[in-house]
Amino acid sequence: MVKLSPYPDEGELVVCTVKDVKGFGAFVTLSEYQNREGFVHVAEVATGWVKYIRDHIREGQKIVCKVLRVDPVKEHIDLSLKQVNEHARKDKIQEWKNEQRAEKLFEIVAQNLKRPVPECFEEFGRPLIEKYGMMYTAFEECAVDPRTLERDGFKGPWVKAFIGVAQENIIPPRVAIHGYLELTCNGRDGVRKIRDALVKAGQVGKGNITIQYLGAPRYRILVSALDYKAAEDDLKEAVDCALDAIKSGGGKGDFVREKGGSCART
C-alpha cells in the first residue's frame, strides 16, 4: 500500500525495483512511494571494490535499500544497498508483502460495503494508517481483538465490515516458549498427586498450555500466546500452580528453562 508521505525519511528502509544499471550505479524505483526514482551509487552497492556492478545488482531485481539523503526540491533520493544486512532485508520484505496483502483485503472491505476503494481509503483507510502506521497492523489488531477500533475511537458502518475481513483472513501472530518441570512425590498416591498438579497447571493462563511427559520425573511445559510477555506470564502462572500443588501434596518440584535461566521451588 502506498505510503502517506510523498518521500521516505533519511535512514528508512525501502523496497525498490532496479530500473537501470550503469557502471557508476543503479537507478531504482521505490515501490512504496509511487515508484519515485532513487539512485544507488556504485560505492553503495556492496562492501569492498565492485569490479562488475552486475555481479551484485541487475535490472528487474527487488532490493531493500537504506535512504541516505532526500532532496524533495530536486526530487532526488540517494540510497545504499550495502548498508542493509540480511536480517533487516528479510524483515522489510515481509513488511512489504504484508502491506500488499492488506491492500487486497482493503479492496474486499470496499467491495463488501459496495463502495469505491478511493472513497473508502479517504474515509477510513488513511486514518487507520495514521493511527497504526500500516494497514496490515490495523487488520492484525482487529484479528487479535475485535474491540480495538472501538477503543481507539473509530466508528461507522465500515467498522463491522473491516473486522469481519480481518478475522476471516488474518491469523494472529503467536510466540511459543517452554521449559521443564521436575516433579516427585513419594507415597501410594504420589502418581495421582503429580497428575493433578499437571492438570491444574494446564488449565491456567490465557494462552495455550501443553504438558508433555518426557520420562519421570521430567515434564515439558509449552506455552503459546500472542506475545512474549503474555507467554511468560502464563508460563509463570502454570509453573507456580504446579509447584504449589505438588508441595501441598508433600512432594517436591523444580522448574528449569532450557536456555540456562531457571527458577526452582520445593
The tens digit of pLDDT for each residue in 67-83 reads: 999 999 999 999 999 99
Sign of CA dihedral 123, 124, 129, 135: negative
In angstroms, the Cα distances linking 225 to 17, 141, 241 are 37, 15, 18
Position 260 confidence tier, pLDDT thresholds 50, 70, 90 = very low
At position 22, the amino acid (one-letter code) is K
Position 258 confidence tier, pLDDT thresholds 50, 70, 90 = low
Domain boundaries in the chain?
13-84, 87-169, 175-265
Query: What integer pLDDT is reported at residue 264 of this predicted model?
Result: 34
| Domain at 13-84: CATH code | 2.40.50.140
Question: How many Å apart are CA 229 and CA 216, to the nearest integer?
Answer: 30
- Asked whether 117 and 107 are in contact (CB, 8 A), the reply is yes
> What SS3 state is found at 9?
coil
Position 261 confidence tier, pLDDT thresholds 50, 70, 90 = very low
DSSP 140: H
Question: How many Å apart are CA 135 and CA 250, to the nearest integer?
Answer: 54
Judge whether residue 1 has pLDDT over 80. Answer: no
pLDDT > 90 in the chain, percent: 60
Judge whether residue 189 has pLDDT over 50. Answer: yes
Mean pLDDT of 102-111: 96
pTM beyond cutoff 0.85: no
Element counts in the chain: helices (H) and strands (E): 8, 10
The topology under which CATH files domain 175-265 is Alpha-Beta Plaits (3.30.70)
The tens digit of pLDDT for each residue in 16-65 reads: 999 999 999 999 999 999 899 999 999 999 998 898 999 999 999 999 99
Q: For cell 508521505, what's the residue?
A: 5
> What SS3 state is found at 189?
coil
Judge whether residue 209 has pLDDT over 90. Answer: no
Mean pLDDT taken over the chain = 89
The topology under which CATH files domain 87-169 is DNA polymerase; domain 1 (1.10.150)
The bridge status of strand 175-184 relative to strand 218-225 is antiparallel
